[in-house]
Amino acid sequence: MVKPRTIKFLASKSSGQVSALFLRPPDARWLMVLGHGAGAGMRHPFMESISKHLVDAGIATFRYQFPYMENKSWRPDPQPVLLATVRSAVEAATKADSSLPLLAGGKSMGGRMTSLAASADELAGVRGIAFFGFPLHPPGKQGTERAKHLEHVKVPMLFLQGTRDKLADLTLLRPVCSALPQATLSIIEGGDHSFNVLKSSGKTSTDILNELVSSVIEWTGTL
């Protein structure tokens, strides 16, 4: 069993150090830098589970905290701090293991902040961005404003989205992805924004995690 290594790195000059968990299997082929969602940190059950499944599939993971979560606050940092943290996390992951090609992304806000950072200036060494539930709009407020920056992202993007995700109406997200030449949309049938499914689906949480990771592995084969 691979044990995580705790790493501290400077998120930004104004916000100080944050923590990260680095997991590297012996057969690692990629290293994915993962940011957490707005309401839960890097130790959230989903973050723990997806990291373990990725590691089992040969993808090392570098899960990190945003400063507000590190400081046990529930109010997200200002966007410049979040974006600076994404860049710092990519740099810290590279220092942790410079032998592996990089992927980046995360759950909800973590993924969106990664793409926002990449749209402003390329993230060094990152070959693709994976969104575990892209938050296209707030619940009940359909729109595509949050996707406008994606046209400026220069690396391939993988959108992993559930059909019951209230933060991403698929009738809006599908055309967004279709208009992006390097976007891949992978649909998780019955999944909500947290990739939970109804019992009537007959699927378990492990089934869904396996679907997510299978999509990531297939996508990496195109990079």
At residue 141's C-alpha, the angle toward residues 135 and 144, to 5°, is 55
pLDDT tier for residue 79 given thresholds of 50, 70 and 90: very high
Is a pLDDT exceeding 90 seen at residue 74?
no
| Each residue's pLDDT tens digit, 169-182 | 999 999 999 999 99
pLDDT tier for residue 43 given thresholds of 50, 70 and 90: very high
Q: Which residue has the higher pLDDT, 61 or 3?
A: 61
Mean per-residue pLDDT, 41-55: 96
Is a pLDDT exceeding 80 seen at residue 89?
yes
Tokens of 200: 């009537």
Predicted confidence at residue 197, as pLDDT, reads 92
Predicted confidence at residue 2, as pLDDT, reads 79
**Mean of the per-residue pLDDT values of the chain:** 96
The whole-angstrom separation of Cα 130 and Cα 107 is: 9
Is a pLDDT exceeding 80 seen at residue 1?
no
Going by C-alpha positions, the residue among 133, 146, 150, 152 that lies closest to residue 193 is: 133
> CA–CA distance from 196 to each of 73, 162, 166, 190 (Å)?
26, 9, 12, 8
**Superfamily, domain 5-220:** Alpha/Beta hydrolase fold, catalytic domain (3.40.50.1820)
Predicted confidence at residue 153, as pLDDT, reads 98
Check residue 223 and report its DSSP letter: -
Upper half-sphere CA count for residue 171 (Cβ side, 13 Å): 2
Check residue 150 and report its DSSP letter: G
Mean per-residue pLDDT, 85-104: 98
Predicted confidence at residue 176, as pLDDT, reads 97
Tokens of 165: 């995700």
Predicted confidence at residue 218, as pLDDT, reads 97
pLDDT tier for residue 140 given thresholds of 50, 70 and 90: confident
Predicted confidence at residue 181, as pLDDT, reads 93
Element (H, E) at 78: none
| pTM tops 0.85 | yes
